[in-house]
Amino acid sequence: MSALAKTHLEPALSVSNLTTVFQTAAGAVTAVDSVSFDVMPGQVLGLVGESGSGKSVTLRSLMRLVHAPGKVSGRVLWQGRDLLSLSPGALRKVRGGEIAMIFQEPTTALNPVLPVRIQIEENLRAHTALNGRERRARAIELLELVGIPAAERRLDDYPHQFSGGMKQRVMIAIALASDPKLLLADEPTTALDVTIQDQILKLILDLRDEFAMSVVFVTHDLGVVAGTCDRMAVMYAGRIVETGSVRQVFAEPHHPYTRGLLGSVPRGGAERTMLTSIDGTPPSLSAIPPGCAFNPRCDFATERCRAERPALEPFAAGRTVACFHHARVAATGAPA
């Protein structure tokens, strides 16, 4: 096998046993628990789960944006380097340059007292050799790229002068300033109306193709996953409980939590069809039940589930699941 062919088969990002623990007055709380996944070049991976399942903390842990009282351990390999052991200087070159992040809420992520030009140029100043005139030209180019009309005129506007959708586009422009090879998107369409949401998603996919980026996309919206992602990893209580291609998981979920999430999505068809809901609520991270964390809400749970925690194991090509009864779950069929 040629070196080029081997490169194309290797993950762009390989995460192994990523664990994030916060020390609190009540004791240690594990927000991300031994999470492992790979992202291939040009692939879009969706991290899916209810609020509080650990998705956003996972992204912040990858970028070492978790600070005391939090502690991150494990391994995050990016182009042969472990991000968790890089020196602060080496990490600064990677963050914003090779790996960029779109934060969940642009209103709080953007600095309200600086024009967007300065916020874009900060990235360019840190990661490129462009001079002042070239940085301004690049900032205009980026705003045009993300679809902001009259980009040159808007360059010196402040964040409050942009709508929610336009702020999100500014955030994407900042993230793309240095042509990153990996984009971490933390619910970039939250609180946007469906028309703007669709535009943002198409924009991210177009930019993925143009810049040959890999993308890790955090969301709780399975409709977004279906239209955007190649593979998906379902998270619950800080752990990944199922992985596979989007097509495979939607057609045949093997974890009862995944099945419950799919059943809660409205579908076209017969009128007055009841949605399937998951009884109960996600557990507090400081009081995760013994055994499988999902067992108090699970219709398939047995005594083994309440006493023993299932490991995330492969069961078919490209698929893993953490469930003792996954074959029985799959046999019930995907939610109608």
Q: 132-145 and 116-127 are packed helices; what angle lies between their axes, rounded to 10 degrees?
A: 120
For 261, the domain range is: 251-266+275-336
The answer to whether residue 303 sits within a structural domain is yes
Within a domain: 297: yes
Residues linked to residue 320 through DSSP beta bridges, in sequence order: 243, 314
Specify if 262 maps to a domain: yes
Question: Helices in the chain by DSSP H: which ranges?
Answer: 3-9, 55-62, 88-94, 106-109, 116-127, 132-145, 151-154, 164-176, 194-211, 222-228, 246-251, 256-263, 303-307, 326-331
Q: What percent of the chain has pLDDT over 90?
A: 64
How many structural domains are present in the chain? Answer: 1
| Position 317 in a domain | yes
39 pLDDT exceeds 50?
A: yes
Model pLDDT for residues 274-304, shown as the tens digit of each residue: 667 788 888 988 889 999 999 999 999 999 9
Report yes or no on 225 lying in a domain. Answer: no
Q: Of 290, 283, 318, 285, which is closest to residue 305 (Cα–Cα)?
A: 290
**pLDDT tens-digit map of 63-101:** 999 998 999 999 999 988 999 999 999 999 999 899 999
Amino acid at 19: T
